[in-house]
Each structure stands twice: as C-alpha cells, then as structure tokens.
C-alpha cells in the first residue's frame, strides 16, 4: 500500500512533516546499510488503541544497536515514549510503526563510527495482509528460494539490521517472479530457516515445530508470542533444525511476524500442506492471538501498551 504522504515523522527529537523527513544522499546508511530498525504494530480494540509488545520490540532495537556498536542519543525509555507520541500526533488507532537507528551524514568509508547516530520513527496505516484479505483463512502458496540465508559469523541474524534485508529482498523478488506470495529460505547447511521477513512454524501429529535460533533466523517477537500461546493451549513445541523435506510432510504450516501476524501456508513448491487448507492448530493459535489484540480475550501476559500512556517529561 502506498504512503499517504501526510502526517508527522519523529526525527532526532522533533516532529517533522512527512515531506521534510529526509536525509542527505551521502549519509552512511545509504551506502553501507549501517542501520537497525524495528517493525511494530498498534491495534484498535474494544479496550482502546494499544501497541503490541512494545517493550520487547524496543529491547530488541537496543540489542541490535549494541551488536553494531551504535549508541543512540536517546534512552530506550525516551524512544518508547516517542513511539507513543508519534502515534498520537498522527491520530492513528491502528498503524505500523518503524523506529530506525542509522549512521548519518559526516563522511564516507567502510568504518561507520565517525558518523553520527540518528533516529527516526515513522508510522503509517497498514491494512494489507500477506497474500491478501482472505489469506488468514485460505492460506498462501510459497516456494523454497534458491537464495540461502546469511551464514553464521558473516552478518548477525539476531540483529534486525537494514543490511540483512538485502538478502530478504532477493528471496522476496524471486518468490514474486515465480508467482508465489512468499519464499522460504534454507540456511547454509541446507536446513529450514525462515521467510523473507517471517518466522516459520509447522505442525506434525499435533506437535508444533519451529527452527532454532541457530538456523539463521531473527528472534521474532511474534515467534515468541506463538511459543507462549502454544503453551497456554497445552501444545507440545519442539525447537529444532528441520530438513527441507519436512516442509512437504507437515500437516500444517504458517508464517508469523509483525506484518504477517499468523498466515497459514497452503502449499510449498506446489505440494499441498496437509489438506491444502488452514489446519486446526493454526486456527486455534489465530483465535488466541487475534482475540488478545482485538480485546476479546484478556491480556494475561501484559502484551498491550495503551497508546494513551503518559509520555515522560523531556
């Protein structure tokens, strides 16, 4: 969905008009991908507008900064307040939230450390599910990518770095050209990793499987949410390396992530997953997940931060 190009962007402590939220073409991040970011969602609900798992997302942002030796000029508490303030200033109840910490404009060279660390927070409406409006129920068709996920000790998969998403873009573009809604990548050893921007879960004989953190995956906030919800439902969960052929014998499969939420997979490489429809385990997890964020179920795990929460005094 295209941007509306209206509203405000938080940039280095100031609200800036959307059209004025720009950086110099010689900024380090443009040339070398020296930035980290988060993807977060705010939802309207029967309990009012709230942000889903905001503290966890902001902690991961801080972790990514630490890995890349970046020290933002704002505390995580200040940036958390800035997220809520940006949502309110723009008048949104439901939106996508993109905090970005990046190396800005000073000089160019591979070493990013002389360049300033800048911060921006952008919010916009996002109402297009992965695969279209009916995908939550009908599922999506995906293919295994010829592109491999980043290898250990090359780029840090646990850091949500802008540079990592060059690999994601290659996976996504190939899937699109091949007629799939998404791609699934394998890691350097040939075991299942993740989608271009989503974690993966599979069901076999009512056991829930997901790749381990050592399979070159991002430590997804929604992934961790699924693990908690599965425990609430009494499901057995196994985090383990999964061979490619497991994709074709799973009874159910689904993507999860901030943008994807929980999206069933109905076929992989044109082989139907199970009976080719959303399965009962996937449906049960969806009911729990959307029940909490929509306000129909209690927030037992304190995952929701009200958009109207107080902003700290500067």
| Domains (range + CATH), the chain | 8-124 (3.30.470.10), 135-278 (3.20.10.10)
- What pLDDT, on a 0 to 100 scale, did the predictor assign at position 301? 97
Q: Give the C-alpha separation, 146 to 170, whole Å.
A: 9
- What pLDDT, on a 0 to 100 scale, did the predictor assign at position 310? 64
Can you state the angle between helices 280-293 and 221-232, rounded to 10 degrees? 110
| Active site residue ranges | 160
Place of tokens 């901030």: 258
Kindly report the pTM of this predicted structure. Answer: 0.95
Q: What's phi and psi for 76, nearest 5 deg?
A: -65, -35
- What pLDDT, on a 0 to 100 scale, did the predictor assign at position 132? 80
Beta-bridge partner residues of 37:
100
Q: Which residues contact 45 (CB under 8 A, 6 or more apart)?
A: 293, 294, 295, 304
HSE toward the beta carbon, residue 105, CA cutoff 13 A? 6
- What pLDDT, on a 0 to 100 scale, did the predictor assign at position 313? 43
Q: Could you give the angle at the alpha carbon of 89 between the alpha carbons of 84 and 92, nearest 5°? A: 75
Q: Are strands 207-210 and 236-239 parallel, antiparallel or unpaired?
A: parallel
Q: What residue ranges of the chain have pLDDT lower than 50?
A: 313-314
Distance of alpha carbon 303 from the chain centroid: 16
Query: Looking at residue 227, what DSSP letter applies?
Result: H
- For the segment 262-302, what is each residue's pLDDT rounded down to a tens digit? 999 999 999 999 999 999 999 999 999 999 999 999 999 99
Q: Give the C-alpha separation, 244 to 55, whole Å.
A: 34
- What pLDDT, on a 0 to 100 scale, did the predictor assign at position 3? 87
Q: Give the C-alpha separation, 170 to 178, whole Å.
A: 12
End-to-end CA distance of the chain: 35
Task: Give Rg (Cα) of the chain.
Answer: 20
**Cα 215 to Cα 14, 144, 183, 266, 294, distances in angstroms:** 39, 15, 16, 23, 32
Q: Give the C-alpha separation, 3 to 250, whole Å.
A: 38
């Amino acid at each position: 969905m295209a941007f509306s190009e209206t509203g405000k962007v938080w940039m280095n402590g100031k609200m800036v008009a959307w059209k004025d939220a720009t950086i110099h073409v010689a900024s380090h991040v443009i040339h070398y991908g020296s930035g980290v970011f988060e993807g977060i969602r705010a939802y309207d609900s029967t309990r009012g507008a709230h942000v889903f798992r905001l503290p966890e997302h902001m902690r991961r942002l801080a972790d990514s900064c630490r890995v890349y030796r970046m020290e933002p000029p704002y505390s995580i508490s200040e940036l958390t307040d800035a997220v809520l303030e940006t949502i309110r200033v723009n008048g949104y109840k439901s939106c996508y939230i993109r905090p970005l910490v990046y190396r800005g404009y000073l000089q160019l060279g591979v070493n990013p450390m002389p360049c300033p660390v800048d911060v921006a927070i952008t919010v916009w409406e996002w109402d297009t599910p992965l695969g279209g409006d009916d995908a939550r129920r009908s599922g999506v068709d995906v293919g295994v990518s010829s592109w491999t996920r980043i290898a250990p000790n090359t780029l840090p998969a646990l850091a949500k770095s802008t540079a990592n998403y060059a690999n994601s873009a290659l996976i996504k573009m190939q899937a699109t050209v091949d007629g799939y809604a998404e791609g699934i990548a394998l890691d350097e050893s040939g075991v299942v990793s993740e989608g271009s921007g989503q974690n993966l879960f599979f069901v076999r004989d009512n056991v829930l499987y997901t790749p381990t953190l050592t399979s070159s995956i991002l430590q997804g906030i929604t992934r961790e949410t699924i693990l908690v919800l599965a425990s609430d439902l009494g499901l057995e969960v196994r985090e383990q390396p999964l061979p490619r052929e497991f994709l074709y014998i799973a009874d159910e499969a689904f993507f999860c992530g901030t943008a994807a939420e929980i999206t069933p997979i109905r076929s992989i490489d044109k082989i139907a997953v199970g009976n080719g429809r959303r399965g009962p385990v996937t449906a049960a997890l969806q009911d729990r997940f959307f029940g909490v964020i929509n306000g129909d179920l209690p927030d037992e795990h304190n995952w929701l931060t009200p958009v109207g929460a107080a902003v700290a005094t500067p």
